[in-house]
Amino acid sequence: MSTATDPTEPLPAGCPLHGAIGPRAPEGLCPQCLLDLDWGDDDAPESLPVQFGPYELLARLGEGGMGVVYKARQVSVDRVVALKRIRDGELADAKARRRFYREARDAAKLDHVHIVPLYDVGEHDGQPYFTMKYMPGGTLEEARARFAEPRRAAALIATLARAVHAGHRQHIIHRDLKPENIVFDDHGEPYITDFGIAKRLDHSTRTMTGTILGTVGYVAPEQTTRGHPLRDSATADIWSLGVILYELLAGRRPFDGPTLLEVMRRTQEEEPVPLERLRRDVSRDLATVCLTCLHKDPARRYISAEALADDLERYLRGKPIWVRRPSPGRRALAWCRRHPFTAVLLGVSALALVTLTVWSLAGTRAQEQARRAEVLAANRYAARAVAGTVLALLDEYATTVAMEAQAPQLTTAMALHDGEALQGLCEEIRARQAGLAYWFIIDAGGALQAYVPSEQSDKRSVTHFAFRDYFRGAMSLAADRPAYISRAFRSATDKRYKIAIAAPIRGVDGRPLGLLAAEIATDRRLGALELSDDHRVAVLTVRRDRDSASEPLPKEHILWVHGGVEHGEGVVVESDALRRLTARRDAAGDAGRDQLRLPPPDWVELDEAYRDPLDQRGIREAGGPWLVGVAAVGRTELAVMVQTRVEDATALDRTPLRVYAAWSVGGVLLLVASLFATLRGTRRRASASYPDPRGSPRVDRLGSR
């Protein structure tokens, strides 16, 4: 309100704070004191408006770093405007006044439908001011709930980005975008206001070293980094728009904390929580747009605010956006760039851990290989020793059968084809040789003449056996060969797999009249194969014979003596070493008929991945792998396999002390790195300010305008 004053009357004594007062000051108060009163719309008396030049100040709307904003009426045209005057009035220094006028100049230069227009610039009683369009719709801070829906938030930020881009085209960076500086008109249209700390890129103005302009929580990381080459670039406004979008969608800012320094630290060092984790209705495309705006590296944000608006509008139209979310590798690389010392320390620790682990594993592998070679060599030697013992036992059996085949009574009965006599002689032989329970006689034509035990002879369904390996082998033996050790055949009487030790029955002229043979069934009982080592077992294999005259000779082997083989079971065994040994024996040709001679020393093969088909006497699981030494039993179709499980062979070297040492050293290094990083962060949070090399505080301005 203005009060009439007689110019002939003396002036009031003056304001105790500001000196002399003007003649229009009511009740002895100077305009400065009146303007500094904290009014609201309800507190301002209707009968006492404050006259400020050609304007009447109606209410105080707010204040910032250097200005106070009022709701005012322009009396001459009866128009409500927003009036902003400099905060310190007549006491403002020249620098503050220059900045105030620069804000007015920058605002006047901008002409965009979503930037608050400037009406007037002037000065009253030494106090600079300018007026703008009045926005009755309030700020975005007050209307934030209206834009929580993702599409409405995206549409709002797209509109603001277009307005920001208009400023950038005029080389003006806002540098203080936040919800309080986004206002709405009476139709709900958004506007950008308050260019108080905007920067003109086409002018050589400088920001004081260490000064942080803007509101912590909305300023980009480079704006808080001294000497950053992109500290005053258009990407800073893109960051602020990203923060506003994140806040609208998540209900909180991406980086927050109990103190301003903590917020600055998190802005510099941490990554925001992905929006998809906070709200399921936020699409991946919109979250990607937001996180692109919040990239720590300004060069990896949107190239312009217009590009941001384009992507948001593509999202709103349901089209694919242009940007793609950075990969985990890129995010890790960005973290390393922000924390180079910690990254190097962690990298060195990880490298040391990997190196020590590889060294330990290599040493362990070398020890295991040495142990495997040692076990294989021992199994090779044991296989040859056991094969020699089995050969001696078979030689004893062969000598016995050959001696019985030379009996004159047997030759006479065979020559006379006296079946009853042959049966009786066969039973007498069995009685004399109790160690061999099954005996039979076959004539030169392959017909069975006698078989004991006699109670099983009536069950036979096949009476001619000229196709059997034992018949062919025995009938082809030279006079100086005692007996033939056959392949395993399936018995015609009890259907069990057996081997035969057959010797020819020769006439007076030396020609074979038939053969006498003893059967031995496949069994787990053979004392020669018992080994004293609990980790090493021996088995005996034999090549299988054909079951009919039309079948070719099989190449497969079956288990003859094995801890898991039942009587006459005939389980097939597979081994590369056994196949190689069989091929070598077949290549020997006629020498193979001299069965009871010792084989060459190289008739031994090794197998490091043998799979045992059966459980070994209930003390070892089937399968493998096993370390196996395979040796030929003379020149017969039998072979000895001495085997050791790999787990048993290398059990003592599975966890060497070097592995524990490597993990311990690596763990200590990682612990040191973690403690260092924690200590560094604690010290940073505890610092009240960052010292400037010239001695002045680095942080001159924190908080909101």
What is the DSSP code string of 483-512? -EE--BEE-TTT--EEEEEEEEEE-TTS-E
Task: Quote the CA–CA distance of 67 and 96 in Å, as a whole number.
Answer: 10
Q: How far is CA 113 from CA 77, 151, 166, in A?
A: 23, 21, 10
Task: Quote the CA–CA distance of 705 and 698 in Å, as a whole number.
Answer: 18
Task: Quote the CA–CA distance of 655 and 360 in Å, as a whole number.
Answer: 10
Query: Do 156 and 205 meet the contact criterion of CB atoms below 8 Å apart?
Result: no
Query: Do 459 and 478 meet the contact criterion of CB atoms below 8 Å apart?
Result: no
Instruction: Count other Cβ atoms within 10 Å, centred on residue 202.
Output: 8
Calculated CA dihedral for residues 448, 451, 456, 459, nearest 10 degrees: 10
Instruction: Count other Cβ atoms within 10 Å, centred on residue 186.
Output: 9
Task: Quote the CA–CA distance of 248 and 275 in Å, as a whole number.
Answer: 11
Structure tokens at 265: 């630290």
- One-letter identity of residue 155: A
Cis amide prior to 656 (ω within 30 degrees): no
Consult the annotation and say whether 199 binds a ligand.
no
What is the DSSP code string of 201-265? TTS---PPTT---S-TTTS-GGGGSTT-TTTTSHHHHHHHHHHHHHHHHHSS-SS--SSHHHHHH
- One-letter identity of residue 50: V
Q: Which helix (H) or strand (E) holds 89?
A: none
Cis amide prior to 625 (ω within 30 degrees): yes
The owner of tokens 């079956």 is 558
Structure tokens at 562: 């094995």
Q: How far is CA 626 from CA 221, 614, 620, in A?
A: 62, 12, 11
Nearest CA to 581 out of 568, 594, 592, 567 is that of 592
Query: Do 628 and 372 meet the contact criterion of CB atoms below 8 Å apart?
Result: no
Binding residues: 84
> Residue ranges for the binding site for ATP?
84
